[in-house]
Amino acid sequence: MFFWRSTESAGGIDMSSDLLHMVDAISREKNIDKENIFIDIETGIASAMRRAYGEAQEIVVKIHRGSGKIEATLDGRPVSMVELGRIAAQTFKQVMIQKLREDERSSLFEEYSKRVGTLITGVASRMEGGTLVVNLGRGEAIIPRSEQLPGETHHPGDRVRAMILDVRESASQIRIVLSRTHPDFIKRLFEAEVPEVAERIIEIRALAREPGYRTKVAVSSIDMKVDAVGACVGVRGSRIKNIVEEINNEKIDIVRWNESSQILITNALKPAEIKEVFLCFELGHAVVVVADDQLSLAIGKRGQNVRLASRLTGWDIDILTPVEYDRSLDLMESTLRAVAGVDDVLLDKILAIGIISVGDLALVGAEPLVQELEVPQDLAERIVAASEEAAKRAAVTEAARLASQDGAGATETVEAAAGTGELGGSLAREGIGDDRSDLSAVGGPGEADRGDGPEGTTIDVTPSASGVVEEDSEGRNVRIE
């Protein structure tokens, strides 16, 4: 409610005390700049005068910011607010309400748009069709169902911590969208819980996440005296435990970063023990060899471990057992030896650039062989053609094996893949039996919870755990009871 204690004075209206107090109160309550409020009042008074005297008149309204004195003139003649009447006062009130709402929206948009990508804490207000509405104090934000963690529930009054994902300005409101599933939400939590990360002593080099289930974080330190993994874990796991509890007990694997892709892939696949890693830069493809008893651990439940490791490192990773790897090499060697002009030297050169299967050769094509290995064009084309045929035959052979186990549907699927040239995975490379999906489904989540070795650390911190995993001075994982 706006009012004046109006007393006529020379050249204006004296309401300095009430006006200045009102402007100050609105500015603090709504977080609106005082200058904007003064302009709104001037606009409101001018609108009221136009309502009273008509648009044709020359109307000037000026408020002195220091004293609060209002000067209003009509065709150069000073005008008192008393002259305007009740209708004009109502017009002034409506204009002021509208202007203040617009200023408040602009203030909200300016404040929160600058904070996109940062953490914010609010209070759960209500659910609207699966969308959580969060009270931020000055306004409301939403967390769409897609930005909520699987399985988590919020009740009115619950504290909610999230990352500001987007701020949009519409005609009638400011839409603030929060997220708890975005990968950067994990980064912000590490910055909040680990001072070394906030101070950039420890850097998060890469992050891969499947929200609600598992996250892999690769970290490094610019200070040789600061252990990146140990600092992120904290004393008795205190730091990582706080982060895990915030994200509904989602598991976090802390991986030691290394500039060597082979070492990084080895670290990312922890806790599985890796025998060898072969890189094909032409395809961005890595073949990892593990012992039979490490296969399900390396792949993870429903392929989660290898999938996250692939995203973390930027390499397309295939996991093979030694038998599968040897079979792959044998098939490629026998196929290429049948091509006139291929000798042991050329075979070694092909292996040296990370190509270990006929499927790889079929995908790479003749150009790398010609340009990098200086293979004659004709020979390179014959090598690729032979590899394509061998890969297709291997795929059909594997389809027959699967059909004998699972029915004819498997045959149709693999034959279609072979016929279109989409030779993905181990089937497309050499027709090796792919029972890994079965193996990965056998183990529970605990299989990939703990690893050892100084190059990679996997932390499992849940309320039900009997203790906390922490890395000792020699880089080995120990469980602290």
- Predicted confidence at residue 1, as pLDDT, reads 38
- What is the overall mean pLDDT for the chain? 80
Q: Which of 387, 388, 400, 407 is nearest to 338 (CA)?
A: 387
Residue 298 has pLDDT above 60, yes or no: yes
Q: Rounded distance, CA 289 to CA 295, Å?
A: 9
**Residue in this structure with the two tokens 């030691």, named with its chain if needed:** 256
Instruction: Report in angstroms the alpha-carbon separations of 370 from 129, 146, 285, 346, 382.
Output: 60, 48, 20, 12, 12
Residue 341 has pLDDT above 70, yes or no: yes
CB 328 within 8 A of CB 288: no
Residue 334 has pLDDT above 50, yes or no: yes
Residue 313 has pLDDT above 70, yes or no: yes
Q: Which of 75-84, 90-99, 226-235 has the highest mean pLDDT?
A: 226-235
- Predicted confidence at residue 98, as pLDDT, reads 80
Residue 53 has pLDDT above 90, yes or no: no
Residue 56 has pLDDT above 50, yes or no: yes
Residue 481 has which token pair?
Answer: 């009871």
In this predicted structure, which of 9-13, 103-107, 233-237, 387-391 has the lowest mean pLDDT?
A: 9-13
pTM, whole model, 2 decimals?
A: 0.71
- Predicted confidence at residue 82, as pLDDT, reads 61
- Predicted confidence at residue 59, as pLDDT, reads 80
Q: Rounded distance, CA 142 to CA 86, Å?
A: 42
Query: What is the full DSSP assignment across 43-99?
Result: HHHHHHHHHHH-TTS-EEEEE-TTT--EEEEETTEE--GGGTHHHHHHHHHHHHHHH
What confidence tens digit (pLDDT) does each residue in 84-136 have? 666 667 777 777 778 778 777 888 888 899 999 999 999 999 999 899 999 99
Q: Which value, in Å, is the radius of gyration of the alpha carbons in the chain?
A: 34
Q: Rounded distance, CA 94 to CA 72, Å?
A: 19
101 CB contacts (<8 Å, ≥6 apart)? none
Q: How large is the average pLDDT for residues 51-75?
A: 77
Q: How large is the average pLDDT for residues 443-461?
A: 39
The percentage of residues in the chain with a pLDDT greater than 70, rounded to a whole number, is 78
- Predicted confidence at residue 78, as pLDDT, reads 78
In 88-222, which ranges are E strands?
119-128, 131-135, 140-143, 159-169, 174-179, 202-210, 214-221
- Predicted confidence at residue 85, as pLDDT, reads 63
- Predicted confidence at residue 416, as pLDDT, reads 40
Q: Rounded distance, CA 27 to CA 311, Å?
A: 48
State how beta strands 316-320 and 285-290 pair.
Answer: parallel
- Predicted confidence at residue 211, as pLDDT, reads 96
What confidence tens digit (pLDDT) does each residue in 173-188 have? 889 999 999 999 999 9
What confidence tens digit (pLDDT) does each residue in 255-297 have? 999 999 999 999 999 999 999 999 999 899 999 999 999 999 9
Q: Which residues pair with 319 in a beta bridge?
A: 288
- Predicted confidence at residue 337, as pLDDT, reads 92
Identify which has the larger pLDDT, 50 or 429: 50
Q: How many residues does the chain have?
A: 481
Instruction: Enter the DSSP assignment of 470.
Output: E
The 3-state secondary structure of 252-300 reads EEEEECCCCHHHHHHHHCCCCCEEEEEEECCCCEEEEEECHHHHHHHHC
Q: Rounded distance, CA 410 to CA 396, Å?
A: 10
In order of their start, the domains of the chain are 8-109 (3.30.1480.10), 119-181 (2.40.50.140), 184-268+455-481 (3.30.300.20), 272-448 (3.30.300.20)
State how beta strands 131-135 and 119-128 pair.
Answer: antiparallel
| H or E element that contains 312 | helix 304-313
Q: Which of 405, 406, 446, 429 is nearest to 316 (CA)?
A: 429
Q: From the CB of residue 455, how many other CB atoms can be counted at a distance below 10 Å?
A: 18
Residue 475 has pLDDT above 50, yes or no: no
Q: How large is the average pLDDT for residues 34-48?
A: 81
Largest Cα–Cα separation, the chain: 110
Distance separating the N- and C-terminal Cα atoms of the chain: 63
- Predicted confidence at residue 33, as pLDDT, reads 81
| H or E element that contains 380 | helix 377-406
Q: Which of 23-27, 213-217, 369-373, 444-448 has the highest mean pLDDT?
A: 213-217
471 band by pLDDT with thresholds 50, 70 and 90: very low
Q: Which of 145, 232, 227 is nearest to 189 (CA)?
A: 232
Q: Rounded distance, CA 93 to CA 448, Å?
A: 66
Identify which has the larger pLDDT, 346 or 76: 346
The percentage of residues in the chain with a pLDDT greater than 90, rounded to a whole number, is 53
What confidence tens digit (pLDDT) does each residue in 382-425 have? 999 999 999 999 889 888 888 887 654 444 444 444 333 333 44
